[in-house]
Amino acid sequence: MEIADGGDPTSAGRALFSTYTIRDVTFRNRIWVSPMCQYSTPDGVPGQWHLVHLGSLAVGGSGLVMTEATAVTADGRISPHDTGIWTDEQADAWAPIAAFAKAQGAVVGLQLAHAGRKASTYRPWETEHGTVPAGDGGWQTVAPSAIAFDGYTTPTELDRDGIRNIVAAFRAGARRAMRAGFDLVEVHAAHGYLLHQFLSPLSNQRTDEYGGTLENRARLLLEITRAVRDEIGDAPLFVRFSASDWVPGGWDAEQTATVARWAADAGADFFDISSGGLHPDQQITVGPGYQVPFAASVRETAGVPVSAVGIITEPAQAAEIVASGQADAVMLARELLRDPHFPLRAAHELGVEIDYWPNQYLRAKWRA
């Protein structure tokens, strides 16, 4: 892993806009797009909305453009309207989206996901909430244990064959992502979805080799990490963690750091650190940069590279997170929805010269 400071190493702005290399992939800066579900397809096939949404983020100067949580199986979708990567048709539809984003200079990544017991739900803006019934296009969900998320239907506990099928689905999804032209993949083990459900003792009450001890609860994630690494060759592999359940007795930053080290040994290169999403009793104190300390803790304890998320909205704030060594990159979500060109604006405000302003937008660079 290489870091090129691109100029004055004491300048926070230059740190934010320095390049970053993982294996053979170089990111033009440290402002990266966090996965953001769009709930905008009925069959898992991305379309024009996804091209324009992700394409605008690439045009706006982000170093990494990551897709939304993209299901590796049909029953792994968060909602019936989520994108997928379980068919060749879906991979073919992703290909021009990835190609356009790459043509704008961004690195493109696909997040491989399975929602587990939090699958088959209504979209956030719909009037109904909770589990979509089978008659309305929903399905039976699965989980490590038959414990329902609050307000959702009870999932079916995965047996060993089901677990093997999950590993195979992540492997196949990674293979299709590479075929579609993505530069990297991320394994989603956060926000209360399936792999996080296996990791947390609050949702995993199994008594076999996939439950109980930390080693057992991490087993599925590590099997998937090895399988995905085997498929993608030398492409970068990210893992996203929730570093805390924000509930006493749940998953925490110490366990996250331990499993991150194990995942690195299994082939993961980089860790995308968020928090929460597993339990309705979570008590979260929200404020600017509120999740950054989790990233800093995992980075220091595990000795692995990380990105930070959590109400990062100002160029100077983002620059300080990277320049201070709390994280190697920042992942932005809502701020990029408000302003897809945040990286260009940040470079302008911080006085950093970059060479990837689109020609069509140069008047915004040259004039106040």
Distance CA 320, CA 29 (A): 14
Catalytic status, residue 193: yes
Element (H, E) at 315: helix 315-323
Distance CA 111, CA 91 (A): 13
Distance CA 256, CA 278 (A): 14
Which residues fall within 8 angstroms of residue 274, CB to CB, at 6 or more apart? 190, 191, 240, 241, 242, 243, 291, 294, 309, 310
- Angle made by CA atoms 80, 85, 87, in degrees to the nearest 5: 95
Residue 194: Cβ-neighbour burial (10 angstroms; 0-12, 13-18, 19+): buried
Q: Is the dihedral of CA 316, 102, 73, 47 positive or negative?
A: positive
Distance CA 240, CA 246 (A): 17
Number of helices (H), then strands (E), in the chain: 13, 13
List the catalytic residue out of 39, 193, 356, 361: 193
Alpha-carbon distance values, 359 to 111, 350, 366 (Å)? 30, 20, 11
Catalytic residue IDs? 193
